[in-house]
Structure 1
Amino acid sequence: MKELYTRALSGFIYVCILIGSILLHKYSFLAVFFIFSLICLYEFQRLIHFKKVFLYIILVAGFAATHFIKIPLSITWSFLFISLFVQLLLLKDLLFIRIIPMFEKKKYIVSIFYLISCFFFLTLIPFDQFRNYQPIYLIGLLVLIWVNDSFAYLTGKNFGKHKLYSKISPKKTIEGFIGGFIAAIIGGILISYFSKSLSLLHWIAIASIVSIFGTIGDLIQSKFKRQAGVKDSGKIMPGHGGIFDRLDSILYASPFVFLYLQIITYVS
């Protein structure tokens, strides 16, 4: 019971920090997510046994350039497509390779274009093409992730019979994934109704992206942890593990959500 209370309390504090920083101001949001990005990079480096200070320099410089310097659109799009390509390569490794080969050059590529770049695109999501801050987009994204994960767990625990990918995550089931997906769609419908930020179809599309790619991101991180022989990426959140454990789904999904938002912006 004590462990349950500890988990609930640390989760509550985590949610308050996230939502509070997003709602307070764009700079409080950027500050909190910058700190989280540093922690996640540290935790990820421990998983892949790759301690390089140079990666922190890239993270700091890239974060500053992303939000305080006007970067040419061509560079942003190039970086996005490289990141998406690396994400899909990791999906291939998840599905078809028993152990992800992590030689030094690949560790650099994955660290930059998987973890670091995902933070860049995640923190760009609440800004429109005119750099106006729209927190509802990120809050909606977080809510969809939490709804998907919660209902995937509840559905899987009560009705799960068919394993989703037992070699990596024995507790995940197909029934759980379907339950999380349906709940995320309903969440998208409710966000559309109450926020009036995007159309109903757009929020349903984003909910679908979040559910599918969020689940993939969780499985990829589980594979990294399994290869490292650890249960959690860190211990900063009692009962939950590390910050990377909490953000793995939304990080993997964020470049795909960002791409979708850019497409509908240019089409409309």
Structure 2
Amino acid sequence: MKTRAITAFFFTIVMLASLYLGAWTFTVFYLLLSVFALREFYILIEPSGIKVQKFTGLTTHVLIFGLLASFMLLDLDLRYLLLIIPACTAFFLTELYRHEPEPFRNIAFGFGGLFFVTIPFCFFYALAFLLGKTQFSFHFPLAFLLMLWASDTGAYLFGRKLGKHKLFERHSPKKTWEGFFGGVLTSVLVSFIISLYFTELTFASWAGMAVLIVSFGTLGDLVESMLKRSLGAKDSGQLLPGHGGLLDRFDGLLIAAPLVYAYLWLILN
């Protein structure tokens, strides 16, 4: 527990610093974080016999994230997004020369990593530019993280004290409905505090964001648990002592981030 607390403290400080130190620090930090998360996904599936193209997948990820960052930071022409097409084609062409017994399985998991990790992290990154291209604001990604952490804390505390009714025992035996609603309560309370300082949205809109984060963050957690159980793994990695891997810490972001981005974009536009 002590190791877990120390890791959480220092990692939280680093994450918050990446937000407060400006657009370029935020970009570099989440590019690196997402690269390690995708690499972790590819390593996680290796024991099942899948020979995924790690180099091709990671290169494609850096290209996609880099183009998005250039679009947001430098107002890059959208035509450069066409570079993603040959990068994705490389999965198929490279497999022709690898002589692996199940090439399309390898290709499927290569793309699966991009959908499971790259796209959610790109949407989370784009939250910082919802007010307009080149207009960096840490308010939305910070609010997202605070609500997500509040959800996890509330779910743990309420689930531990009051939890009786299992939420989805097949994939996560410890999760309960009491914990889920406790997460909703704590996240909405945090959204109220956020609304006092970040005035881009009303409290009702921040609260709606909180409910989305808790609901789909929980589903993201269950999906990641389903992945680990299907592979016979306890943790997604060992990068964070006491916590497991990056996917274990960011599982709530994987499904919630794209939906929260769409929700906020519709409200702001």
TM-score, normalising length: structure 2: 0.83
1:1-268 equivalent positions in 2, closer than 5 A = 4-49=1-46, 50=50, 51-52=52-53, 53-69=55-71, 70=76, 72=78, 103-127=105-129, 128-266=131-269
C-alpha deviation, 1:150, in angstroms: 0.5
One-letter code of the match for 2:15?
A: L
Moved more, 194-203 or 169-178: 194-203
Distance change (3 Å), C-alpha of 1:71 and 1:150: farther
Deviations 1:108-151 (A, max 9, x none): 33212221111111111011223301101111100000000011
Determine helix, strand or coil for the equivalent of 1:233.
coil
Structure number, greater radius of gyration:
2
Deviations 1:235-260 (A, max 9, x none): 11110011111111023211001111
TM-score, normalising length: structure 1: 0.84
Aligned match of 1:83: none
Among the aligned pairs, what percent are the same residue? 32
Deviations 1:59-106 (A, max 9, x none): 111111101133549x79xxxxxxxxxxxxxxxxxxxxxxxxx94443
Aligned length: 237
Determine helix, strand or coil for the equivalent of 1:122.
helix
Does the aligned pair in 2 maintain the 1:47–1:224 contact within 8 Å? no
Determine helix, strand or coil for the equivalent of 2:128.
coil
CA separation in 2, counterparts of 1:230 and 1:122?
Answer: 26
| RMSD, aligned α-carbons | 1.8
C-alpha deviation, 1:177, in angstroms: 0.4
CA separation in 2, counterparts of 1:244 and 1:113?
Answer: 14
Moved over 3 A (4+): 102-106
Structure 1 segments unaligned to the other structure (5+ residues): 77-101
CA separation in 2, counterparts of 1:238 and 1:152?
Answer: 22
Aligned match of 2:100: none
One-letter code of the match for 2:114?
A: I
Structure 2 segments unaligned to the other structure (5+ residues): 83-103
Moved more, 144-153 or 114-123: 114-123
One-letter code of the match for 1:151?
A: G
Determine helix, strand or coil for the equivalent of 1:125.
helix
CA separation in 1, counterparts of 2:3 and 2:108?
Answer: 37
